[in-house]
Amino acid sequence: MTQSRAGSRSHCHLGPAPQHFLISGPEPFKLNRSYFLAALALVLAVLGAHTTMTTMSSLFTRFMRPFSSGPLRAVENGATGVAGGTHQKATIAAGCFWGVEHTYRKSFASKGLIDARVGYIGGDSKNPSYRQVCGGDTGHAEALQVTFDPEKVSYRQLIEYFYTIHDPTQLNRQGPDRGTQYRSAIFFHSPEQEAIAKDVTERANKEWWDGKIATQLVPAGDWWDAEAYHQLYLENNPGGYECPTHFIRKLPPLSQPESS
């Protein structure tokens, strides 16, 4: 039976703002009010405007994610991407990419992470826009692609970390975000990465997740950068939406291969 890709989109708002988010204008000024009360109301309105708008902005970002015409660039698959092959790429999907990027940057910014970008991978069409991916019909996953220095952080460490920051047992969803675009997946860039990803997944499945991991392991195809406003989203919007399953779990150290 074919499963529909589309799912509920708790933070993908496609229509006009709900009425309870609309702010009504002030009551018309009545001439029989005293000048003092009018002046006081004006002062309070001016003083409170900044606080009110800041609060409303934070509230809106938790329920609505913006759209634009399309992603920034396409990057073809490759095992090593930059600096003469000394750096490598790792590509993973773990639900809404805002929180995934944010936690990787916080944890590895000074530990070998060269760059981190959010985007789309694993789909059927070229140059997908966020609106199209959010609709669940292109086959793409919201994903994170990091460029890292393997002399400072290993691919194995990045994949082990991946299994601690989201719930990999949830199929085609993550928390309240439902649809194949929110699937858990590892997109490997080389046979070596494939072997490591499979080994870590088997160990994490047995030792951490009670044999319930639903994460896909697939070759990395074309990568499409997400629109500019998605990059560093939570750094630029501290009150923005973050999937409730995105947090670092306190798990015992994962067993390692004998050769490690």
pLDDT score of 21 more than 50: no
Please tell me the predicted confidence (pLDDT) of residue 33.
38
Average predicted confidence (pLDDT) for the chain: 80
Please tell me the predicted confidence (pLDDT) of residue 259.
74
Q: Is there a catalytic annotation at residue 96?
A: yes
Please tell me the predicted confidence (pLDDT) of residue 162.
99
Angle at which helices 97-108 and 155-162 pack, to 10 degrees? 130
Give residue for tokens 């973050």: 242
Please tell me the predicted confidence (pLDDT) of residue 248.
98
Please tell me the predicted confidence (pLDDT) of residue 98.
98
Give the range among 79-88, 112-121, 145-154, 158-167 with minimum mean pLDDT.
79-88
Please give the structure tokens belonging to residue 199. Answer: 């080994």
Give the pLDDT mean for 185-205.
99
pLDDT score of 89 more than 90: yes
Beta bridge partners of 88: 148
For residues 53 and 236, the model is more confident at 236
Please give the structure tokens belonging to residue 193. Answer: 């990465």
Pick the CATH number of 74-236 from 3.30.1060.10, 3.80.30.20, 3.60.70.12, 3.30.390.30: 3.30.1060.10
Nearest to 223 by CA among 141, 155, 111: 141
pLDDT score of 82 more than 60: no
Read off the pLDDT band of 42 (50, 70, 90): low
Read off the pLDDT band of 27 (50, 70, 90): very low
For residues 55 and 39, the model is more confident at 39
In the chain, where the domains are located: 19-63, 74-236
Read off the pLDDT band of 160 (50, 70, 90): very high
Read off the pLDDT band of 19 (50, 70, 90): very low
pLDDT score of 28 more than 80: no
Please tell me the predicted confidence (pLDDT) of residue 189.
98
pLDDT score of 159 more than 50: yes
Read off the pLDDT band of 97 (50, 70, 90): very high
Q: Kindly list the strands in the beta sheet with 113-121, ordered across the sheet, starting from the edge strand earlier in the chain.
A: 74-75, 223-225, 113-121, 141-148, 88-94, 184-188, 216-219
